[in-house]
Every structure is written in structure tokens, then in C-alpha cells.
Structure 1
Amino acid sequence: MKPMVAQDIVGRDFNIRVLGLNFHRVIFPVSFSIILLLVLLALSNPVVFGETLEGIKGWILKNFDWFIIIMGNLAVLFCAGLALSPLGKVRLGGRDAKPEFSTLSWFSMMFAAGMGVGLLYWGVAEPVAQYTAWWKTPLNVAASTPEAAHAAMGATMYHWGFHPWAIYLTSALVVGYFSYNKGLPLSLSSGLQPLLGRGHRGLPGQMVDVFTVVLSIFGLATSLGLGAMQATAGIAHVLGTPNTFAFQLMFIVAVTCLAGFSLWRGLDAGVKVLSNINMLLALVLFLLVAVGIGGMAFFSNTLNAAADYGQMFLPLSNWIDRPDQDWFQGWTVFYWAWWCTWGPLVGIFVARVSKGRTLRQMVGMVMLAPTVVTLLWFSAFGGGAIAQVIDGSGALAAGLSDVNMAIFQFLEMLPLAGIGSLLVVALLVFFMVTSVDSGALVIDNLSAGGDPDTQPVQRVLWLVMIALVTVTLFVIGGDTALKGIQAGAVAMGLPFMVLMLLLMIGLVKGLIEDCRS
């Protein structure tokens, strides 16, 4: 039977509806074809594929480092400027719109989707790496010195503070405003409307959404695959089970099943509940570590880390004549490009759960609040880990030999180490589930032309697609193929930043026109 073609709910284009499923007639098939092509290329020769994409990534990071850093800085200034301006009073959904979620649930969902796994993975590893010169040091500070300790905490906070959340927030503000206030699809392409008029519904806008789907799929797939390697290493360390390849695949399947159950229950009964559990477990782990390293030590670490962040903010934001060019490109520029692979995914998800909030509230909750939480987290984990290295206690004192094991090695030297390690494993699982959940929701919305109310089975189908891409690359190409895809995703950070600049212009233009009317 010929499928029925119906006009999209927002009038953007025509969607194809088959057996209750709703797919955009351009975005879905083109995205699917590109994903399939890239997976086949990755599997045909993982080594060559990985080396090629690593070469492209390296060339972009080296030759466009100035643009990437400028755009990261501009995102921070843009979001702060909106919050401080009269435009900050604009409310997503109009003046009378009410928030759908409590402030705590709103923050929990946003934080779990945007950074939960990363803080577990790098909470100990990055400060120790920066302090010991595991791979060079920020601003060429002499490694393993008191100055290096301050530089390590300042640089780590710089990488995980305002900048990444500003990149996420820029996408969220654009999508939320044009969707809830203008009745346009829940997609980045809607932000082009002030610049292109009705042209944003045509090929340019469709290609933006295709780009977003492909970027999100491979960002999620690499994070799921590489995250599984850390999680299973931790489980093996805690429980003494063998960390085999089959065990890693079983972990991916288990995460997918949990995520599928959560997606089927929906945003309110599934993702929100898991996100709240995440934050509760994270709070327990944080308190365990903060008490374990000593209250005074934690308080001192927090004050020092805040001062280090403030002191190094401008020097690390500079891109001209950097004395630490290799470190700058290998850490900061890479990070900014990597945040861009999650920028549309997290941004659209944050927009999805932020209806009823003002732009000023969004800046406070999406950029400022996570930075404060990040400061407290790294003060406990990173500051405590550097103290262990300085004191020569524990496995970390011998050097950062395995990033996957860094947080578990740190916990071994604290009271209740077994409970702490089990909490880390549980959090890795739940944070990965919520990240994949939010990603599947976003990809499903985009593939349906911006329709946020698709059937649960359709969301789960995209989740299965993410898992299949991950498992296929993992089984045939191993971490070589996964890292190759990751390099490709990072390389796509450059065009995303070009798009982000256009979206900033479009948002300001749309807001000013509204205020004048």
C-alpha cells in the first residue's frame, strides 16, 4: 500500500506516515544513508579510516584553532549579554507560559544529558594529567610544582565551566525561542528563519537537520562505546570479574534496554525519574569524597579552584602567540570541538524541557548553576587526587597509567572505597542511559521534521539504531573504528560553529523584531 503523505504539524514540509510512524521525507532517508555509508567506510578498513579522519581532525584543530576559540568565547559573551539585557525577560512559550517541570527536575535532566559521564571519566584524570604533564601542561607551567597544581585546577575548570554550557545553551535558546514562541519545528534549522525567511523550510534547513542527526548519532555512538570500556573496567576492578570483549557488549545491550524502557515510559515518567536518581546518587558520591578527603581540605580546594579559574580564564581564552601551542590544540581546541558534537543534541533537549522559562533563567540554570556544581565536583575529586599524588599515596602517585581506572584508584585511598566504586559504576550506567535517552529523543524529533510528539516505538527505534552503530563498530572495528568516528565527529565541530554564528545572528534579529512589534 502506498504510504500516506500528510502535512507536518507545523507546516514545515511533508512527512511520510507509515504504520503510525512519522518520518520527514528528506531528513530521515538522507541521514540514514549518510550514517550507513560512514559505518561501511569505517568497517571496510578501520585503520585507514581512522587515520584519515584523525588527519582531517588534526588539520582543522591546527589551522582553525583561532576560530574555534573565538566562537567558544563568543558563546559565553552572547549568553551573558542576553541575560543582562532587556531581552532576558523573554519567556519561552510567551508571557503566560508555565514550566512543565520543577526546577530540580529541570536541572537534573539537563545536567545528566550534558555532562554526567564526562565528570566521572575526567573528574580525577584531567587534573592529575594537567599536574603531572601526562600530555604537556597549560601555559608551559613546570610539571609537579605548586604552580602546576593551580594551573591544573584552573585549566580543568576552564574546560568544564562556562564555555561548554554556553555552547549547549546557544543551541537551546535558539531552538526554544523559535519553537515555542514562533511555532516552528523543534530543530536548529528554525533559527535560520530570520535570515532565510521561508527558505529555512527548504534545502538549507533540511541539510542543517541532516547534519545535526548525523553529528548526534556518531557523538552518541562513540560515547556509548568508549564509556562502556571505562564502565566495564570499573566493574571488573570492583567485583573482580574478567573485563572481556563479550562483557563490554553485554554492558552496551544492558544500557540500551534500560534506555528503551525509560524512553517508552516517556519524558516525564522515564527520563525525568532517572535523572533525579542520577543526581541523588551523584550527591551521595560527592559527599562521600568530600568527607573522605577532609572538610577543611575540600573547602580550601574549592576556594583555590575558584581563584585559579578566575586567574586563568583570560590567558586560556587567548589564541594569539600561545606558548603552549601543542597543549592548547590538543586539549582546549579539541574540547571546544567535542562540545560541538553534543551541542545540538543537548541544546535541543534542554529546549525541549525549558518551556515556560525566561532566557535569563535559562542562562542562570544552564550556564551558571552547572559551573558551580562542576567547581565543587573537581574540588573534591581533582583536588583530592592531586593531593594524593603530592603525598605519594596510592596508585595515582606512580602516574596516570590508565584514564579508565583513575577514579577507582583515587577512591581506593578513601574510606568506604568499595561503596564509592559501586556508586561510580551505578552512575556510569544511569548517566549513559539518560544521555542516550535524550539523544534518541532529539534525533527522533529531527527525523520527524521537528515533531516533538512521536510514538514511543519510534523513539526506541532510533535508540536501537544508536546501539547497532555502536556494536557494529565495536565488534568489527574495535576502539580503532570508534575513535575514527569520534575524530570525524570532532572535525564536524568546525562547520557547527559556523552554523552557531548564524544562529546567534538570527536569534538576536528575531528577538529585536519581536520587541519592536
Structure 2
Amino acid sequence: MLKKLEEKLGLKMIPAVFFTSAILAIVFVAFAAPLNEPVAAFFDEVTGWISTYFGWFYILSVTGLLGFLIWVAMSRYGTIRLGGDDARPEYSTVTWFTMLFAAGIGTILMFWGVAEPMTRLASPPLEGVDPGSREAARLAMSISLYHFGLHTWTIFTLPALAIGYFAYRHELPMRISSIFYPVLGEKIYGPWGWTIDVIALLGTLFGVAVSVSLGTLQLNSGLNYLVGLPTNQLSEFGIIVVITVLATISVALGLDRGIRRLSQFNIAIAVALMLFIWLVGPTLFITKGAVESVGNYIQDLPWMAFWTETFQDSDWQRGATVFYWAWTIAWAPYVGIFIARISRGRTIRQFVAGALGAPTLFTVLWFSSFGLAAINLELDRGVDLAQQVQEDVPVALFSFLEQYPWALLTSLASVIIIAVFLTTSADSAALVVDLLSRRDDQPSQIRQRVFWTLMLGGVAATLLLGGGLEALQNVIITLGLPFCALLVFMAFSLLRALHADHLGYSLKDLAEGRTPKMEPMGDRPIGKDSGSEPFMEDRRDQEK
């Protein structure tokens, strides 16, 4: 029936993945919008239960996966390339680093660069640390780097590495389900694989929708400062409509090259804004603080990475670490596929070092400029910025910029940066969601990408109508849990495949549980030319 519906609508897709995901998303929008209070209450209850009984699982999983990535990079598997043994990187290292930045941290850093340190300064999570104290400021920087440094990029890097490895090394489709071939075998082209891809698709849809929603709140605050636009749900809804329309036009007209250039220009503005704060702000304090914050981060990382509030009666991690990990996990398929697409030819060691190291370094520089400058305003210049942030988190950046010269110009630049990041994120997410819902040999159709762009806007609007920032946190913690479990299985599946690759065994032998020979297969290629590996044509037939 689904196949006939696909043909009737003139679409190109994996029917079970596309229609299941679309129906679930439409049902959410249809019922959550008019019933926002009961829905918000439901997710609040579920999130409380998850945080209480599975918060530790989020914490332990991400820390364990960071250790796994470091071990894989340093092990004998580190020399394996994403592609054939003779493959070489398509992009220069500098270009690759720039694209990594564009992939995952633009909107995040704009929203949290000031808000995160100020929130932790005003409300330290540890007992015995006084709010607004020097110790609270030190701890605030460590927690900020913990939340947006190595752990965040672990969540992006693992699926990116696995997708790149199976797509380029074994010529499997660039979908999340392909990562599970060593465990499921040909079942990835049936209900098991479809279920995995539906989870990944919905995670991407809701994860990016949360980013769009947070960016919308911040844009509303910026436009209120610039032109007096009221900060209410009507304004938020209007902003989402504008962002959705712009992203839809981009998708429909095929402005991929223009959007890419616009993104690069946007990054340049963001870097210029960071340098401006460093120059006009307390330059020496920022420079010294950046060095010290790195040391504090390294020193505090062991206990932060395993801290689960066991001996402390608080609910802090529910709205902080657990939310951040769940949010990042939810849109990891989107960022993972993007990073995988630009990383062909690199060794696993190069990939892990670059994907973890470069973005973390930039995060340190960003939080050092914005976070330390904000702390200086609070502690040494008598500006009650932390109180303003607690009252209205999205306004944090603009309240901060107001304390420096050319506040109107820098606020306008920030609004432009946020708007462009939101538009390109929605555009790119629609492309990735479309990729997850169709076979790799099918052409991408404009109508499908437009549908997913509109659906993304609808989900974002629904989440905001459901109660703002708190509702966003509750929904994403709930939806992130199943994909967190998938991340753990990804690591297991990748390790099995790497071991087989190192010894020269085929993935099909591994998946079917045949006892492999003890000696390597020499120069026998692994992939579509391997005797026991199914051809791509056979795989495509199974998905029809």
C-alpha cells in the first residue's frame, strides 16, 4: 500500500521510513498545538522520570564514548582510512576545520556564549560554592567548557566516524542504519533498519527544531532591542514563519552554493565579533583567563564527567547536563552525516583528532571572549548581568553587548548571524532528513525537501507554543533517550567492523556469524568487490 502511495504522489523514498516519520511528526504537531498545556505536563512528568532513573546513563554513555574515540584513534585501527587504502582527503585541513565549525556550533555558541557562564555564576551546582563568588566564576567556566567542549563533539564525532567508515569503506548507504550492518546484516534493509532510521530522522527533526526554537527566542530579544518588537508568542511564531519561508525558498530554488558562501561569510562575522569583544573588553583578563580556564577544565573534567548528583539533593542536571547531552544526541545524525560527507580520505586518527580538537579549541576561545568578559562585567564593573540572564536567558547576548561600544551595530550583526545560522540549519537539516528517508540511488526531489522544511518549522512552532525553553528541554530529553542507546550500539558495531577490517574479513561473514579464518585475506578488497559482500544492486532491490 505504501509503495502504491509513493507512486501516486510521485515521490522517491523508502516508504516505511518516510510515511512513518511524516505521520508521527504530523500527529505531534496536530495534537500538541491545541493541547499544549497537557502535552507540556506530560513531557514534564516523563522528563522527571528519565532524569531520575536514566540521567546517569546519559552521563556515563557520553563519557564512555569519548574514551572509546580516543582509544580507537590511538589504537592500530587509527591508520584505517575512510575510503580505500589509497584515498586522500578531498578538502584541505583549514577548509575542513572551517566546515566543522559551520556544522555544529554556530547557533549553539551564539545562544549560550554569555548565558551559560552567567547562569552557572548565579546558581553554582555544587554545595558550598557561593553565587557570584570568584570560585563560582571559576567553576562556571569549567562547566561551560564541559558542556560545549569534548563531550559535545564526542556525540557528533562517533556517528560521523561510523557513517563515513561504512559509507566510504564498505559502500553502504549513508544512513544511520548502515552502521548496524555488522550486527543486523541484511536486516538493515527491512523493519529493523527502518526503525533505526525513523528514530534518527525524528531525532534530527526535533533536535534541529529545538535549535530553531532557541534561536527564535534569541532573535525575538534582539529585535526587541533593535526595533521594539514585542517578546511574545505571536512574535516568535512570526519569526519561525519567516525562517521557514526563507529555508523553503532556498531548498526550492537550489541555492546550495549561495547558502554555503553565505555560511562562510556568517562565520567570518562571528569571528570578527569575537575578536571585537577581546579587543574592546578586558583584553588582559580574557587572555589570562583563557589560559587558566583550560587548566581548570582539564583538572575538573574527571569528576564532572562522572558526576551524577548522588550525594546532593538537587535537580540541576535535568536542566543542564542531561538536557545538553540529549539535545546534542538528538541532532547528531544531521551533524554526523554532514561531517562524514566532508571527511572522505582521512585516517581514523586524523578524523578523531580534528573533529574533537579543532571545535573544542574554538569553543575555548569563544567562551573565553564572551564568558570571561561577561564575568568581568559582573565581578569587577558592578553590572548585574547574571540577574538579567536568570530572568530572560535569550536576552543574555544583547544585555552583554549593550555594555560595550557600538552596541547597536554589534547587536545588528548578532541578529544577522543568528538568522542566517537558523536558515542554513533548517535548509541543511531538510536535505539530511530527505537523505535518511530515501534510497541512495534515488534522486533528491524538491517537493520532499520542501515538505521536511515545512515540517521542521511546524515542529519548532509547536514546541514554542508548548511552553518555551522549559518545554523544549523536556521534549528533547525524552526523545534523546532512545538515540543515546543507539550511540552505544554504534560504538559496539563499529568496533566489530574495524576488527574485521584490520584482519581482512568481510562484513557479511561478520554479520552472519561465520567463523572467520585466522589469517588475513591479504590484499583482497573489502567492499562491493569482495566475494562474500552483497552488491549494491542487490541491496537496493531489498529496499524497494
Global fold match (TM > 0.5): yes
The answer for the alignment partner of 2:209 in structure 1 is 221
- 1:58 correspondence with 2:48: yes
- 1:480 correspondence with 2:470: no
For residues 388 and 415 of structure 2, the distance between their equivalents in structure 1, rounded to whole angstroms, comes to 23
| Amino acid in structure 2 at the alignment position of 1:71 | S
| Amino acid in structure 2 at the alignment position of 1:272 | R
The answer for the alignment partner of 2:140 in structure 1 is 152
- The 8 Å contact of residues 21 and 458 in structure 1, kept in 2 or not, is answered as yes
**Deviation for aligned residue 1:106:** 3.3
The answer for the alignment partner of 1:94 in structure 2 is 84
The answer for the alignment partner of 1:499 in structure 2 is 486
Of 390, 393, 397, 1:403 maps to 393
Q: 1:367 to 1:130 in 2, by over 3 A?
A: same
Q: 1:153 to 1:504 in 2, by over 3 A?
A: same
- 1:334 correspondence with 2:323: yes
- 1:347 correspondence with 2:336: yes
Of 114, 130, 143, 1:124 maps to 114
TM-score normalised per structure 2: 0.86
Q: Any idea what the Cα deviations from partners look like across 1:20-43, whole Å, max 9, x if unmatched?
A: 631112101111111122222313
Q: 1:328 to 1:140 in 2, by over 3 A?
A: farther
Q: Any idea what the Cα deviations from partners look like across 1:9-63, whole Å, max 9, x if unmatched?
A: xxxxxx9566763111210111111112222231342111111111111111111
Q: 1:93 to 1:444 in 2, by over 3 A?
A: same
Greater Cα shift, 350-359 or 408-417: 350-359
The percent identity for this pair of structures is: 37
| Amino acid in structure 1 at the alignment position of 2:274 | F
| Amino acid in structure 2 at the alignment position of 1:454 | S
Q: Any idea what the Cα deviations from partners look like across 1:392-446, whole Å, max 9, x if unmatched?
A: 4335165432111111111111122222111211111111122212211110001
Q: 1:375 to 1:21 in 2, by over 3 A?
A: same
Find the residue that maps to 2:203 and give its secondary structure: helix
- The 8 Å contact of residues 218 and 486 in structure 1, kept in 2 or not, is answered as no
- The 8 Å contact of residues 220 and 229 in structure 2, kept in 1 or not, is answered as no
Q: 1:47 to 1:241 in 2, by over 3 A?
A: closer
**Deviation for aligned residue 1:4:** 8.2
Q: 1:436 to 1:108 in 2, by over 3 A?
A: farther
Taking the TM superposition and a 5 Å limit, the aligned residue runs for 1:40-189 are 40-133=30-123, 136-138=124-126, 140-189=128-177
Unaligned runs of 5+ in 2: 505-544
**Deviation for aligned residue 1:273:** 1.7
- The 8 Å contact of residues 192 and 200 in structure 1, kept in 2 or not, is answered as yes
Unaligned runs of 5+ in 1: 6-14
**Deviation for aligned residue 1:102:** 4.2
| Amino acid in structure 1 at the alignment position of 2:333 | P
**Deviation for aligned residue 1:143:** 1.7
For residues 21 and 104 of structure 1, the distance between their equivalents in structure 2, rounded to whole angstroms, comes to 39
- The 8 Å contact of residues 88 and 358 in structure 1, kept in 2 or not, is answered as yes
For residues 453 and 178 of structure 2, the distance between their equivalents in structure 1, rounded to whole angstroms, comes to 24
- 1:274 correspondence with 2:274: no
- The 8 Å contact of residues 139 and 324 in structure 1, kept in 2 or not, is answered as no
Find the residue that maps to 1:211 and give its secondary structure: helix
For residues 243 and 319 of structure 1, the distance between their equivalents in structure 2, rounded to whole angstroms, comes to 37
Of 293, 308, 332, 1:305 maps to 293
- The 8 Å contact of residues 83 and 360 in structure 1, kept in 2 or not, is answered as yes
The answer for the alignment partner of 1:10 in structure 2 is none
The answer for the alignment partner of 1:378 in structure 2 is 367
For residues 87 and 274 of structure 1, the distance between their equivalents in structure 2, rounded to whole angstroms, comes to 37
| Amino acid in structure 1 at the alignment position of 2:46 | I
- The 8 Å contact of residues 323 and 473 in structure 2, kept in 1 or not, is answered as no
For residues 305 and 199 of structure 1, the distance between their equivalents in structure 2, rounded to whole angstroms, comes to 48
- The 8 Å contact of residues 25 and 202 in structure 2, kept in 1 or not, is answered as yes
| Amino acid in structure 1 at the alignment position of 2:467 | T
For residues 92 and 454 of structure 1, the distance between their equivalents in structure 2, rounded to whole angstroms, comes to 24
Of 444, 449, 465, 2:434 maps to 444
Greater Cα shift, 257-266 or 401-410: 257-266
For residues 482 and 155 of structure 1, the distance between their equivalents in structure 2, rounded to whole angstroms, comes to 20
TM-score normalised per structure 1: 0.90
For residues 105 and 211 of structure 1, the distance between their equivalents in structure 2, rounded to whole angstroms, comes to 31
For residues 409 and 368 of structure 2, the distance between their equivalents in structure 1, rounded to whole angstroms, comes to 20
For residues 275 and 452 of structure 1, the distance between their equivalents in structure 2, rounded to whole angstroms, comes to 28
For residues 98 and 468 of structure 2, the distance between their equivalents in structure 1, rounded to whole angstroms, comes to 32
**Deviation for aligned residue 1:127:** 0.5
| Amino acid in structure 2 at the alignment position of 1:215 | G
Q: 1:253 to 1:444 in 2, by over 3 A?
A: same
- The 8 Å contact of residues 195 and 506 in structure 1, kept in 2 or not, is answered as yes
- The 8 Å contact of residues 217 and 466 in structure 1, kept in 2 or not, is answered as yes
The answer for the alignment partner of 2:383 in structure 1 is 394
Q: 1:284 to 1:388 in 2, by over 3 A?
A: same
The answer for the alignment partner of 2:460 in structure 1 is 470
| Amino acid in structure 2 at the alignment position of 1:58 | G
| Amino acid in structure 1 at the alignment position of 2:487 | M
For residues 267 and 207 of structure 1, the distance between their equivalents in structure 2, rounded to whole angstroms, comes to 32
- The 8 Å contact of residues 2 and 16 in structure 2, kept in 1 or not, is answered as no
Q: 1:34 to 1:365 in 2, by over 3 A?
A: same
Q: 1:71 to 1:431 in 2, by over 3 A?
A: same
Taking the TM superposition and a 5 Å limit, the aligned residue runs for 1:251-290 are 251-264=239-252, 269-290=257-278
- The 8 Å contact of residues 122 and 386 in structure 2, kept in 1 or not, is answered as no
For residues 244 and 148 of structure 1, the distance between their equivalents in structure 2, rounded to whole angstroms, comes to 33
Q: Any idea what the Cα deviations from partners look like across 1:347-368, whole Å, max 9, x if unmatched?
A: 1222123223222222122211
Q: 1:187 to 1:324 in 2, by over 3 A?
A: farther
- 1:208 correspondence with 2:208: no
| Amino acid in structure 2 at the alignment position of 1:497 | C
Greater Cα shift, 259-268 or 416-425: 259-268
The answer for the alignment partner of 1:429 in structure 2 is 419
**Deviation for aligned residue 1:68:** 1.2
